[in-house]
């Protein structure tokens, strides 16, 4: 049976017979708040409502959970690769050629073969010093912009994510991108020497 697709600002819907499956995504500003020290949890908030949580069970093992969605996360021993495994054991990953946060080349490879590029921008005059822009080769504008600092502060808010309206065309990858990139940011913040 062939599935019909309908795209909207609320997400991507797959219609198969009478069953409707929603792939939730959020447009606009998302704040990420950290709670805990030894095994931190990162809460993703859109319009002051939590829609996902990134939970680190151990130093290099974690889980990303959203409504009807879960990814198991693992960071390699050198921290250059972070993998995400879904319930069907499909692997997606974010790869870094360098651990140096000021000069890094990142790429995201999803289990279905889609690849995303990550452009890093450093700006010393803004609230957040680092910015990671996520895009695909055929888009002229970025899909998502993650803004963060490496230094830990007293604020519980550790990152601000701007999701562009064009992300609706990649809505099926929304949670993979959130999980992989925030795992990378959390790892950098935990291992920051400055």
Output the pLDDT for position 54. Answer: 95
State the Cα–Cα distance between residues 144 and 91, nearest whole angstrom: 21
Question: In terms of pTM, does the model score above 0.85?
Answer: no
Tokens of 56: 């680190």
Instruction: State pLDDT tens for residues 145-160.
Output: 999 988 766 678 889 9
Report if residue 19 sits inside a domain.
Answer: no
Give the structural domain span for 76: 25-190
Report if residue 16 sits inside a domain.
Answer: no
| Better-predicted residue by pLDDT, 82 or 138 | 82
Instruction: State pLDDT tens for residues 133-146.
Output: 999 988 888 999 99
Q: Is the pLDDT of residue 96 over 70?
A: yes
Of 172, 138, 159, the residue nearest 66 (C-alpha): 172
In CATH, what number is assigned to the domain containing residue 170?
A: 3.20.90.10
Report if residue 67 sits inside a domain.
Answer: yes
| Better-predicted residue by pLDDT, 133 or 1 | 133
Contact present, 184 and 60 (Cβ < 8 Å)? no
Report if residue 64 sits inside a domain.
Answer: yes
Tokens of 94: 């974010």
Question: 1 exposed, middle or buried (CB, 10 Å; 0-12, 13-18, 19+)?
Answer: exposed
Report if residue 157 sits inside a domain.
Answer: yes
Tell me the pLDDT of the chain averaged across its residues. Answer: 82
Exposure string over 36-54, b if 16+ CB within 10 A, otherwise e: eeeebebbbbbeeeebbeb
Instruction: State pLDDT tens for residues 33-45.
Output: 998 877 889 999 9
Longest dimension (CA), the chain: 56
Report if residue 12 sits inside a domain.
Answer: no
In percent, how much of the chain has pLDDT > 70? 82
Q: Read off the pLDDT band of 65 (50, 70, 90).
A: very high
Query: How many folded domains does the chain comprise?
Result: 1
Tokens of 93: 């990953």
| Better-predicted residue by pLDDT, 15 or 166 | 166
End-to-end CA distance of the chain: 56
Report if residue 9 sits inside a domain.
Answer: no
Report if residue 86 sits inside a domain.
Answer: yes
Number of H helices, E strands in the chain: 1, 15
SS3 at position 64: strand
């Amino acid at each position: 049976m062939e599935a019909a697709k309908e795209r909207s600002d609320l997400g991507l819907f797959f219609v198969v017979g009478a069953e409707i499956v929603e792939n939730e995504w959020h447009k606009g500003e998302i704040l990420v708040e950290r709670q805990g020290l030894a095994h931190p949890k990162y809460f993703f908030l859109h319009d002051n409502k939590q829609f996902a949580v990134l939970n680190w069970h151990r130093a290099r093992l974690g889980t990303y959970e959203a409504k009807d969605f879960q990814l198991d996360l693992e960071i390699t021993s050198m921290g250059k690769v972070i993998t995400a495994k879904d319930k069907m054991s499909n692997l997606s990953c974010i790869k870094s050629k360098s651990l140096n946060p000021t000069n890094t080349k990142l790429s995201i490879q999803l289990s279905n073969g889609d690849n995303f590029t990550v452009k890093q921008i450093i700006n010393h005059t803004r609230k957040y010093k680092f910015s990671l822009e996520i895009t695909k080769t055929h888009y002229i504008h970025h899909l998502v912009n993650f803004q963060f600092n490496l230094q830990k502060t007293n604020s519980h808010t550790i990152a601000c994510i701007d999701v562009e309206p064009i992300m609706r065309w990649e809505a099926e990858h929304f949670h993979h991108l959130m999980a992989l990139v925030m795992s990378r940011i959390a790892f950098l913040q935990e291992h920051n020497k400055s």
